[in-house]
Amino acid sequence: MVLSACPARLGSMVQANTRSRTPATPGVPPRRGVTAPVPSRRRWAPRLAGVVVGAGTLWVVVLAFSGESAAQLHAPGGIAIYLGTALGLIGTYLALLMVLLVSRVPPVERVLGLDALVRWHRRLAPWPISLIVAHAVLILFGYAQAAKTGVGAELRPLLLDYPDVLAATVGLLLMVAVGVASVGLVRRRLRRETWWALHLYLYLALALSFAHAVVLGPTFVGHPLTQAVWSAAWIAGIGLVVVYRFGLPLVRSLRHQLRVAEVRTESPGVVSVLVRGRRLERLPAAGGQFLQWRFMTPGLWWQAHPYTLSAMPRPPHLRITVKAVGDHSAALGKLRPGTRVWIEGPYGAFTRHARRRGRVALVAAGIGVTAIRSLLEDLPAGTDPVVVLRASSESHLVLRREVEALVKRHRGTLHLLLGSRDEVPLDAHELLRLVPDLTRRDVYTCGPGQFVSQVTEACRELGIPRTAVHHEAYAL
C-alpha cells in the first residue's frame, strides 16, 4: 500500500495497490453462508412493461375518443359529456399507471430502481388528478345542459340517481385532498409519515370511483369485452400492489424473524446496527441495495425508513450504518438487542448488475459510503475500482478501514478527500484529475442529493453516457 503525499486541498490520498486475501471486516461477523443469487438485470422486464404500457395507452386513447356517435355529440351538452368521458377514462388509466409505478414488481424495480420509479410516479401524479377533476366538472356541465337545468340543480340528481356516482364523488374529494397535501408548500409542513399515510387514501379513492366508470361509461356499457379487459387490468394492477408491496415484505419479515443483535458506534453520530435473522441466505440482496426498516419499539414501529446495507449479508447477520439526522435515525443508537425488525426490500438498481463497462469509479460523500462499501464487497474481480470518498473531517470517514481493505483486495485505488463541499468541490476537472480514465469507466455515485447531482452533472459534462452513470441520492 502506498500512502502518497497530498495536494493542499486533500486531507489524505491513499493508493492501495497490493494483493491481499479477502479482508475480515471489522464489525461484521465472517460470512458463513452464501446469500441468494440476485438475478442479473433482466432488461426484458422493463421493455415488456414499456410495450404493455404503450399499447395500453394507445388502446385507452382510441376507446376514449370513439365512445359517442355524431348524433350524441350534437345533442345539448354532447360535447362536454364527450370530452368529460374521454378525460375521465384517460385520467383513470394514468392513475393505474401511477399505482403500477410504485407496485415494487421486482424485475422492473431491479433494473429501473425505486428512486426512478418514484420520480416518475411523482411527475405523473398531477395529470390523473387534474384530468379526473376536469371529467367531473365537464360531466356536470354536460348533464345540466342536456337536462336544461342549472349546474346547481343538476348536482343532486347526478349524485343520487345514477349508480355509484356518489361513491365516485367521495373518491374524487379524497383524490383532491391528497393532491393538495402533495403540493410542495403543504407537504413541507406535514410530517413525512403523516403525508405517506394520507396518500394511501388514493387507493381507496380509486376503488370508490371504479364501479361508476364501468356501469355508466359509454365506452363500457354494451361492450362486455372492453369491460372485462378494463376490469382485468385493474384487478392485475391492484393484485401486483398487494403481492409485492404488502405480501412479499410480510412473507420476508416472517421468514427471516429479524432482531437487533448489536448497536455499535462508528463515529460521533453514526452507528452500525447489526441485525440477526434466520435463513438470510434466501434474501436476494446485492451490494448497494437498501431496505425499508421498521424497528418495533413503541416510538418507531409506525415508521419505515430506507437504509442501505453497509455490508453484504453474512447469514445470520445484516448490517446497516446510520447517521443521526433526525428523530428516526437518532433513535437507532438507542435500540436494544432483541428488538424485532420488519423489512421491505431489498430495493435499488445501484448494484454491480447495472455495470456497462469493465472498470468502475465509486464516488461517495459522507454517509453515502454505506452503499459504496457493500457494492465494493460485491464487485467481481477485475473491475479495478477507483474509490473517491469525501468527508468533512477525518472522524466522519465512516467505515474507512473496511473500504481500505476492500480496495486492497481489488487492487484498486482509494482517494480520501477531507473538507467542506466548497473546499473540495468534485467538479468535472477534479474528478478527471483523480480518475484520469473516468470517461471509460462506469461511475457510481452516492450521498446527499446535492452531491450526487454535482457528480452526475460533472459526468454529463465529460460526455459519459447516462447508462454508465449510476446514482443513489439518500432522499426519496
Ligand X SMILES: Cc1cc2nc3c(=O)[nH]c(=O)nc-3n(C[C@H](O)[C@H](O)[C@H](O)COP(=O)(O)OP(=O)(O)OC[C@H]3O[C@@H](n4cnc5c(N)ncnc54)[C@H](O)[C@@H]3O)c2cc1C
Task: Collect all residues with Cβ–Cβ distance below 8 Å to 454 and sequence separation of at least 6.
Answer: 425, 426, 427
Task: Collect all residues with Cβ–Cβ distance below 8 Å to 177 and sequence separation of at least 6.
Answer: 198, 201
Q: State which residue, 103 or 321, has the beta carbon closest to ligand X.
A: 321
Q: State which residue, 328 or 400, has the beta carbon closest to ligand X.
A: 328
352 touches ligand X (CB under 6 A): no
Q: Which of 32, 192, 334, 440 binds ligand X (CB under 6 A)?
A: 192
141 touches ligand X (CB under 6 A): no
> What is the Cα Rg of the chain in Å?
26
Q: Which of 25, 35, 209, 308 binds ligand X (CB under 6 A)?
A: 308
Distance CA 423, CA 415 (A): 15
The secondary structure element, H or E, covering residue 320 is: strand 317-323
The residue range among 86-94, 96-104, 160-168, 326-334 that interacts with ligand X, by the rule CB under 6 A, is: 326-334
475 touches ligand X (CB under 6 A): yes
Q: Which of 367, 391, 428, 452 binds ligand X (CB under 6 A)?
A: 367
Cell representation of residue 234: 385493474
Could you tell me the smallest distance in angstroms from the CB atom of residue 103 to ligand X?
18
Could you tell me the smallest distance in angstroms from the CB atom of residue 465 to ligand X?
23
Cell representation of residue 462: 465529460
329 touches ligand X (CB under 6 A): yes
The residue type found at 139 is I
The residue range among 175-183, 207-215, 319-327, 395-403 that interacts with ligand X, by the rule CB under 6 A, is: 319-327
Q: Is 464 helix (H, G, I), strand (E, B) or coil?
A: coil
102 touches ligand X (CB under 6 A): no
474 touches ligand X (CB under 6 A): yes
469 pairs with which residues across the strands?
A: 443
Distance CA 17, CA 54 (A): 49
The secondary structure element, H or E, covering residue 342 is: strand 340-347
Render 364-405 in DSSP notation, one character per residue: EEGGGHHHHHHHHHHPPTT---EEEEEESSGGG-TTHHHHHH
Could you tell me the smallest distance in angstroms from the CB atom of residue 446 to ligand X?
8
Give start and end residues of each alpha helix (H) in 148-247: 151-161, 165-182, 184-187, 192-199, 201-216, 224-240
What one-character DSSP code corresponds to residue 256? H
Distance CA 248, CA 242 (A): 9
197 touches ligand X (CB under 6 A): no
13 pairs with which residues across the strands?
A: 4, 415
Could you tell me the smallest distance in angstroms from the CB atom of residue 226 to ligand X?
39
Q: Which of 307, 342, 444, 451 binds ligand X (CB under 6 A)?
A: 307
Q: State which residue, 84 or 306, has the beta carbon closest to ligand X.
A: 306
Q: Which of 143, 290, 342, 444 binds ligand X (CB under 6 A)?
A: 290
CB atoms within 10 A of CB 156: 9
Pair 431, 406: CB distance under 8 Å: no
Strands 290-295 and 305-308: antiparallel
Q: Which of 326, 380, 382, 463 binds ligand X (CB under 6 A)?
A: 326
Q: State which residue, 196 or 203, has the beta carbon closest to ligand X.
A: 196
What one-character DSSP code corresponds to residue 155? H
Q: Which of 135, 314, 323, 390 binds ligand X (CB under 6 A)?
A: 323
The residue range among 71-79, 174-182, 322-330, 400-408 that interacts with ligand X, by the rule CB under 6 A, is: 322-330
Q: Residue of minimal CB distance from ligand X?
A: 326
Could you tell me the smallest distance in angstroms from the CB atom of residue 265 to ligand X?
13
125 touches ligand X (CB under 6 A): no
Per-residue binder mask for ligand X (CB under 6 A), 221-260, x = binder: ----------------------------------------
Q: State which residue, 138 or 371, has the beta carbon closest to ligand X.
A: 371
The secondary structure element, H or E, covering residue 444 is: strand 442-447
305 touches ligand X (CB under 6 A): yes
272 touches ligand X (CB under 6 A): no
Dihedral over alpha carbons 87, 88, 94, 96 (to 10 degrees): -160
297 touches ligand X (CB under 6 A): no
CB atoms within 10 A of CB 114: 24
Cell representation of residue 309: 446495507
The residue range among 217-225, 323-331, 390-398, 436-444 that interacts with ligand X, by the rule CB under 6 A, is: 323-331
Among positive and negative, which fits the CA dihedral 239, 244, 248, 253? Answer: negative
Q: State which residue, 114 or 206, has the beta carbon closest to ligand X.
A: 114
Size of the site for ligand X (CB under 6 A): 21
Angle between helices 126-147 and 151-161 (to 10 degrees): 110
The residue range among 102-110, 122-130, 325-333, 354-362 that interacts with ligand X, by the rule CB under 6 A, is: 325-333
Q: State which residue, 306 or 313, has the beta carbon closest to ligand X.
A: 306
Q: Can you give the binding site for ligand X, defined by CB under 6 A?
A: 192, 290, 305-308, 320-323, 325-329, 367, 370, 472, 474-476
